[in-house]
């Protein structure tokens, strides 16, 4: 008898999506199936959390629009700093944007405005309420961005070869326009490097949102796995954790159908249980509404605002989900770093018990 997906170890899951394949390997390397939901309102607190809890997690989930001092600069802003921390600690960034508008609008929301999540978030998510075009529209925006990015990387390498400072007199006049362009480009690149240095070295009061984050200054890269691919991925909200939500069984089934038709972009689901039902479904399931009892006391299984909680053991062991998403259970703890490790351990234990059952 063939093994069910729930019993297949992460490293043997056959996802065709490059980010999912990477994420499964990352989970094994870090022995973690934990996503931190970093729902905080200051950029500094967000970056500090990402840096201190980064070693325990494989995904950092953001709501950029609750960060009151979110810096939108693509090269030096909050997203760029998070991306640097993701490379340092080895985690993916998931902007929990929950897109839910017509195709043309979501493309702009994804790539423009103050968020520009496509620039820094590996993963984002969407409701399918407006219909399947929301998925293809976001997919098109992501691939247009990726093409542009590939071109930028190539341009960087090309212009890196002949340095304007080292151009000889003979070169002047040969192709004045090209050299001028090259110098302008290098000057712009220099300016952006200078501005990063300025931000991290200038003195500012401790409570300033632009004050340096000391831990974020080192230029370190997580060494146990290569950097994440440039691909972007989408999760569809198939089920929600909140009481009385309207996402019924037929809705979840429609989500799965749309995902099957868009496997190049859709990695999987936000759901309360695995949505893999057909033999070749290889979708990843990430699940919010997760808390552990704290100490002797069983924590309340709701937050009084509709949120409903389950334990990692139930979600991973019984509902066969892949990643637990934890917010207040960790960031509301007296010692979030230790608590994140406790969740990581519990989540991983539930997974190893599941695959060996």
**Stretch 243-282: interaction string toward ligand S5P, x if CB under 6 A:** ---------------------------x------------
Minimum separation from the CB atom of position 292 to ligand S5P (A): 11
- Is 303 part of the annotated catalytic residue set? no
Q: Between 109 and 307, whose beta carbon lies closer to ligand S5P?
A: 307
Measured CA to CA, the distance from residue 344 to residue 328 in angstroms comes to 15
**Would you say the C-alpha torsion 96, 230, 68, 217 has a positive or negative sign?**
positive
Measured CA to CA, the distance from residue 313 to residue 316 in angstroms comes to 5
Minimum separation from the CB atom of position 240 to ligand S5P (A): 3
Binding of ligand S5P at residue 240 (CB under 6 A)? yes
Q: Which helix (H) or strand (E) holds 177?
A: helix 176-201
Among 96, 119, 322, 339, binds ligand S5P (CB under 6 A): 96
Measured CA to CA, the distance from residue 328 to residue 336 in angstroms comes to 10
Sequence-separated (6 or more) residues with CB below 8 Å from residue 56: 30, 32, 34, 36, 337, 340, 341, 343, 344
Among 328, 342, 345, 354, binds ligand S5P (CB under 6 A): 328
Binding of ligand S5P at residue 342 (CB under 6 A)? no
Q: Which helix (H) or strand (E) holds 95?
A: strand 92-99
**Stretch 110-129: interaction string toward ligand S5P, x if CB under 6 A:** --------------------
- Is 101 part of the annotated catalytic residue set? yes
Contact in structure between 47 and 67 (CB atoms under 8 Å):
no
Among 312, 329, 336, 347, binds ligand S5P (CB under 6 A): 329
CA 38 to chain CA centroid, nearest Å: 11
Query: Among 117, 113, 73, 83, which Cα is nearest to 97's?
Result: 117
Query: Among 219, 157, 144, which Cα is nearest to 185's?
Result: 157
- Cβ atoms < 10 Å from Cβ of 11: 11
Piece in contact with ligand S5P (CB under 6 A), picked from 8-16, 81-89, 128-136, 239-247: 239-247
Piece in contact with ligand S5P (CB under 6 A), picked from 80-88, 192-200, 322-330, 338-346: 322-330
Give the residue numbers of the binding site for substrate. Answer: 39, 61, 241, 307, 327-328
**Which parts of this chain interact with ligand S5P (CB under 6 A)?**
37, 39, 63, 96, 240-242, 270, 288-289, 307, 325-329
């Amino acid at each position: 008898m063939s093994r069910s997906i729930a019993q297949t170890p992460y490293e043997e899951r056959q996802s065709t999506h490059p980010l999912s394949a990477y994420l499964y390997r990352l989970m094994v390397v870090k022995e973690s199936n934990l996503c931190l939901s970093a729902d905080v309102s200051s950029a500094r607190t967000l970056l500090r959390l990402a840096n201190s809890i980064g070693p325990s997690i494989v995904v950092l989930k953001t709501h950029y629009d609750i960060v009151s001092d979110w810096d939108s600069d693509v090269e030096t802003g909050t997203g760029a700093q998070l991306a640097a921390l993701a490379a340092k600690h080895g985690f993916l960034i998931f902007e929990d944007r929950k897109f839910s508008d017509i195709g043309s609008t979501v493309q702009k929301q994804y790539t423009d405005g103050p968020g520009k999540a496509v620039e820094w978030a590996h993963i984002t998510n969407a409701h399918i309420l407006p219909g399947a075009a929301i998925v293809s529209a976001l997919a098109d925006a992501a691939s247009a961005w990726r093409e542009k990015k590939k071109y930028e990387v190539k341009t960087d390498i090309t212009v890196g070869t002949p340095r304007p400072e080292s151009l000889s007199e003979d070169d002047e006049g040969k192709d004045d326009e090209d050299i001028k362009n090259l110098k302008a480009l290098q000057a712009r690149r220099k300016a952006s490097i200078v501005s990063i240095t300025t931000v991290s070295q200038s003195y500012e009061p401790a409570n300033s949102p632009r004050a340096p984050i000391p831990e974020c200054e080192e230029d370190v890269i997580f060494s146990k796995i290569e950097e994440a691919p440039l691909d972007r991925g989408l999760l569809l909200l198939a089920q929600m954790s909140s009481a009385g939500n309207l996402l019924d069984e037929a809705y979840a089934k429609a989500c799965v159908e749309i995902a099957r038709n868009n496997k190049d972009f859709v990695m999987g689901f936000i759901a309360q249980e695995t949505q893999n039902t057909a033999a070749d479904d290889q979708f990843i399931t990430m699940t919010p509404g997760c808390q552990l009892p704290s100490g002797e006391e069983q924590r309340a299984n709701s937050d009084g605002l509709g949120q409903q909680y389950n334990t990692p053991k139930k979600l991973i062991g019984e509902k066969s989900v892949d990643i637990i998403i934890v917010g207040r259970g960790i960031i509301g703890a007296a010692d979030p770093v230790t608590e994140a490790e406790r969740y990581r351990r519990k989540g991983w234990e539930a997974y190893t018990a599941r695959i060996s059952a």
